[in-house]
């Protein structure tokens, strides 16, 4: 357990891997923010809410589909509630229902085509079919592990 530090070649691969993700994410997030004022996390919450049923979901379920801890989601929802993007409806006592507001839905509708255009321009249009296959394969690979 005293591995040799990464070689220059290994370092290059590692940095390339890191910058690949950061860069694309920043571009797409920036496009959405400039067009609608929504941040990445805000967009994420709104799109999940809209994607299930009528734009309502139990908070715990929302946390699960987003892959977030409960406290992270609670903080995020508090900020979004202040900005009228979502509202908290009292559930059955120990649970809480999160619902899209009118404003939240409108902003989301405006953001969807922007994201589509940006993802296509910044990522999809630059990938060959083999590269797409690889992304899916590597991603599945990594998801499955311990």
Which residues are near DNA by CB under 7 A?
26, 39-42, 58-60, 63, 68-72, 74-80, 88, 91-96
Alpha-carbon gap, residue 130 to 138, rounded angstroms: 12
Q: Which parts of 4-23 interact with a copy of itself (CB under 8 A)? A: 4-6, 10, 12-14, 16-23
67 close to 57: Cβ distance less than 8 angstroms: no
User: Hey, what are 8's tokens?
Assistant: 């220059």
- What SS3 state is found at 122? helix
Q: 66: Cβ–Cβ under 8 A, 6 or more apart, which residues?
A: 44, 45, 48, 73
**31 or 85: CB nearest a copy of itself:** 31
Tokens of 124: 């999809």
Using CB under 8 A, count the residues that bind a copy of itself: 45
Applying CB under 8 A, which of residues 33, 97, 99, 119 lies at the interface with a copy of itself? 119
Reference 119, options 19, 30, 18; nearest CA is 30
Strands of the sheet containing 56-58, edge to edge, are 56-58, 96-100, 86-90
Name the binder of 19 from a copy of itself, DNA, none, CB < 5-8 A by kind.
Answer: a copy of itself
* Closest approach of DNA to the CB of residue 75, in Å: 5
Which range of residues in 55-63, 70-78, 95-103, 106-114 is near a copy of itself by CB under 8 A?
Answer: 106-114
Nearer to a copy of itself, 57 or 114 (CB): 114
Residues making contact with a copy of itself (CB under 8 A): 1-6, 10, 12-14, 16-25, 112-117, 119-120, 122-124, 126-127, 130-132, 134-136, 138-143
């Amino acid at each position: 357990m005293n591995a040799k530090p990464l070689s220059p070649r290994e370092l290059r691969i590692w940095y390339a891997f890191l910058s690949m993700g950061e860069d694309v994410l920043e571009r797409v997030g920036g496009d959405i923010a400039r067009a609608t004022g929504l941040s990445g996390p805000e967009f994420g919450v709104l799109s999940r809410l809209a994607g299930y049923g009528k734009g309502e979901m139990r908070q715990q379920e929302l946390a699960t589909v987003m892959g977030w801890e409960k406290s992270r989601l609670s903080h995020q929802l508090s900020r979004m509630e202040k900005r009228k993007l979502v509202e908290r409806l009292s559930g059955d006592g120990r649970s809480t229902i999160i619902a899209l507001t009118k404003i939240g839905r409108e902003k989301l509708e405006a953001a969807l085509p922007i994201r589509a255009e940006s993802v296509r321009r910044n990522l999809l249009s630059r990938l060959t079919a083999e590269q797409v296959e690889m992304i899916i394969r590597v991603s599945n690979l990594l998801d499955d592990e311990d």
